Amino acid sequence: MKRPAIFASLFCALPALAAAPAPTRIFIAGDSTAQDYKPDRAPQSGWGTMLRCAVDPSVTVENRAIGGRSTRSFMAEGRLDRIAADLRPGDTLLIQFGHNDADTKKMAERFTPIPDYIANLRRFVAVAREHGAQPVILTPVTTRKFRDGRLPRSFPLYEDAAAQVAAAEKVPLIDLAARSRAWVTRAGEAGSRGYYLHLTAADAQPGFPSGVDDDVHFSAAGAKGVATLVATDLRALRLPVSTRVHPARVASCG
């Protein structure tokens, strides 16, 4: 009996459909400088949110960054385990911590001594590799704390430790600390103010009714700037995902 042409076409298409590659994904493990925020926190934004504008439609950004977490607390809360459960070969894992690891004011919640920070970063790398994903370590993004007109390194011990782990583990490194410090320095103390959260009550932002002076967290403009730095370096690394990253697109991010 002759099979109808329409059924024959569908039958032949099945192998091609089954072989279709899964979408490429970029996971972000990090802190409040990268995380997504609800609209009622505008204009506060994280660079991970803006990174979505830099990638092709075939790439999904899984932003798992969350405020107040260090490598230690991120792992203790099972957040790395949940990333591990979702990772698959071909994924990329961006790892950026240091702000909260260095927080000695919250010793019990966040603080991570340098030896532990190094061990924890190695664990993030190992988890990525165990699941066939590509780890990328980022040094912690700069804060805007000028001293006598200069912008010193924000977390030198943690910046150096992250670079040390990347070198020892032969993992790609995005030196976001140095890149963002140079970017803020070029803008100057006054010019970079708009990259961070500086508002007054007159600005009438629902998330900050009394205003805010914050040189750690980013405005939308600041998050775009940092995302552009990350995207630029991610493209330059020549990883499998790199050709699908387009830094210039971030500027038009809504």
For the domain that residue 29 is a member of, what is the CATH number? 3.40.50.1110
Q: Determine, yes or no, domain membership for 253.
A: no
Percent of the chain with pLDDT strictly greater than 70:
91
Mean pLDDT computed over 180-196: 98
Asked if residue 5 is part of any domain, the answer here is no
Look at residue 18 and tell me whether its pLDDT is greater than 50: no
* Rounded Cα–Cα distance for residues 203 and 156 (Å): 35
Residue 175 lies in a domain: yes
**Domain range for 170:** 23-244
For 25, 103, 124, 241, the CA distances from 21, given in Å and listed in that order, are: 12, 42, 25, 14
177 in a domain, yes or no? yes
**What is the per-residue DSSP string for 39-107?**
GGGTT-B-HHHHHGGGB-TTEEEEE---TT--HHHHHHTTHHHHHHHH--TT-EEEEE--TTTT-GGGT
Residue 21 confidence (pLDDT): 55
Of 94, 69, 36, which Cα lies nearest the Cα of 220?
36
Mean pLDDT of 33-48: 96
* Segment of 2-6, 39-43, 96-100 carrying the highest mean pLDDT: 96-100
* pLDDT at site 8: 44
Tally of structural domains, the chain? 1
Residue 251 belongs to a domain: no
For residue 134, what are its two tokens? 């590509």
Residue 110 falls inside a structural domain: yes
Higher pLDDT, 192 or 22: 192
Print burial letters for 121-134: b (CB count within 10 Å at least 16), e (below 16): beebbebbeebebb
pTM here is 0.91
In a domain, 7, yes or no: no
User: What is the arithmetic mean of pLDDT over 46-65?
Assistant: 97
| Mean pLDDT, all residues of the chain | 92
**pLDDT given for residue 22 in this prediction:** 63
Structure tokens at 216: 């750690």
> Which of these ranges, 21-25, 60-64, 135-139, 212-216, has the smallest mean pLDDT?
21-25
